[in-house]
Chain A
Amino acid sequence: MRSSRTSLRCAVLGALLCALGAQAQTPVEGFDAERLAPSAPGSGWFVMDSLDMHGELGGVLAFSARYAHEPLRVSASRVPVVTDSAYGQIAGAVTWRFLRFSLGFDFPLAVKGPGVTAGGFQYPAADVDLGSNPDTLSDVRVGLDARLIGEWNGPFRLGLGAQLWIPSGETGQYLSDGTYRGMVRLLAAGDVAAFIWAAHLGVHVRPRDDGGVPGAPRGSELLFGAAAGAKLFQGESSRTVIGPEVYGATAFAGFFKPETTSAEALLSARWEGTGGTGPQLRVKLGAGLGLGSQFATPSWRALVGVEVFTPSAPPHD
Chain B
Amino acid sequence: MSACVARRPGRWRAARGLAGTCLLGVALAGSPALAQAAPPGPHEDVAFDVMNVLSQAGLHDLEDEQWNAYGQTTYISSWKLPFGAPYTNLNGSTNSLLPGHERSYTWSATLFLGARLWPGGEAYFVPEVIAERPLSSLHGLGGAIQNFELQKGGSETPQIYRARLYLRQIIGLGGERQKTDSNPMQLGTTVDRRRLVVWVGNFSVLDVMDKNGVTGDPRQSFFNMAFMTHASWDFMADARGYTYGAALEWFWDDWAVRFAHTLPPKNPNQLPVDFRFWQYFGDQLEIEHDHTLFGLPGAVRVLGYRNRVQSGSFDDAIATFQADPTKNAAACVDFNYGSQNPGAPDLCWVRKDNVKVGIGLDVEQFVARDVGVFLRAMWSDGQSEVVAFNAADRSLSFGAVARGSSWNRPFDVAGIGLGLSWISASHARYLALGGIDGFIGDGALQQATEGVFELFYSLNLFKAIWLSGDFQLLWNPGYNADRGGPVTVIGARVHAEF
Interface residues of chain A, those whose CB is within 8 Å of chain B, are: 56-57, 59, 61, 90, 92, 105, 107, 130-137, 140, 166, 168, 279, 308, 310
Interface residues of chain B, those whose CB is within 8 Å of chain A, are: 54, 59, 66-67, 69, 113, 115, 117, 125, 127, 159-163, 165, 202, 238, 240, 242, 244, 266, 271-275
Q: In the complex the two chains form, is A131's CB within 8 Å of B266's CB? A: yes
Q: How far is the CB of B437 from chain A (nearest CB, A)?
A: 22
Report how far A140 CA is from B109 CA in the complex, Å. Answer: 14
Q: In the complex the two chains form, is B127's CB within 8 Å of A140's CB? A: yes
CB-based nearest A residue for B163: A135
Known: A131-B273, A135-B238. 15 other contacts (CB 8 A): A59-B67, A61-B115, A105-B162, A107-B162, A133-B271, A134-B238, A134-B244, A135-B161, A135-B271, A136-B162, A137-B127, A137-B161, A168-B159, A168-B161, A308-B117
Report how far A90 CA is from B238 CA in the complex, Å. Answer: 22
Q: How far is the CB of A173 from chain B (nearest CB, A)?
A: 13
**Majority DSSP secondary structure for residues of B touching A:** strand
Q: How far is the CB of A50 from chain B (nearest CB, A)?
A: 22
Report how far A56 CA is from B125 CA in the complex, Å. Answer: 25
Report how far A90 CA is from B165 CA in the complex, Å. Answer: 10
CB-based nearest B residue for A88: B165
A134-B272, A135-B238 known; A140-B66 Cβ under 8 A: no
**Majority DSSP secondary structure for residues of A touching B:** loop
Q: In the complex the two chains form, is B67's CB within 8 Å of A134's CB? A: no
Report how far A280 CA is from B66 CA in the complex, Å. Answer: 12
Report how far A137 CA is from B240 CA in the complex, Å. Answer: 14
When distances are taken between beta carbons in the complex, the residues of chain A under 8 Å from B202 are 134-135
When distances are taken between beta carbons in the complex, the residues of chain A under 8 Å from B273 are 130-131, 134
Report how far A92 CA is from B127 CA in the complex, Å. Answer: 13
Q: In the complex the two chains form, is A279's CB within 8 Å of B113's CB? A: no
When distances are taken between beta carbons in the complex, the residues of chain B under 8 Å from A57 are 54, 59
Q: How far is the CB of A128 from chain B (nearest CB, A)?
A: 11
Q: In the complex the two chains form, is A166's CB within 8 Å of B67's CB? A: no
Instruction: Pick the residue among B117, B160, B240, B274 that contacts A131 (CB under 8 A).
Output: B274
A90-B125, A140-B127 known; A135-B162 Cβ under 8 A: yes
Q: How far is the CB of B168 from chain A (nearest CB, A)?
A: 15
When distances are taken between beta carbons in the complex, the residues of chain B under 8 Å from A132 are 266, 272
Q: How far is the CB of B104 from chain A (nearest CB, A)?
A: 23
Q: How far is the CB of A292 from chain B (nearest CB, A)?
A: 33
Report how far A56 CA is from B69 CA in the complex, Å. Answer: 19
**Subset of 30 A-B contacts with CB under 8 Å:** A57-B54, A57-B59, A90-B125, A92-B113, A105-B125, A105-B127, A130-B275, A131-B266, A131-B272, A131-B273, A132-B266, A133-B272, A134-B238, A134-B242, A134-B244, A135-B161, A135-B202, A135-B238, A135-B240, A136-B161, A137-B127, A137-B161, A137-B162, A140-B127, A140-B160, A166-B160, A168-B159, A168-B161, A308-B117, A310-B66
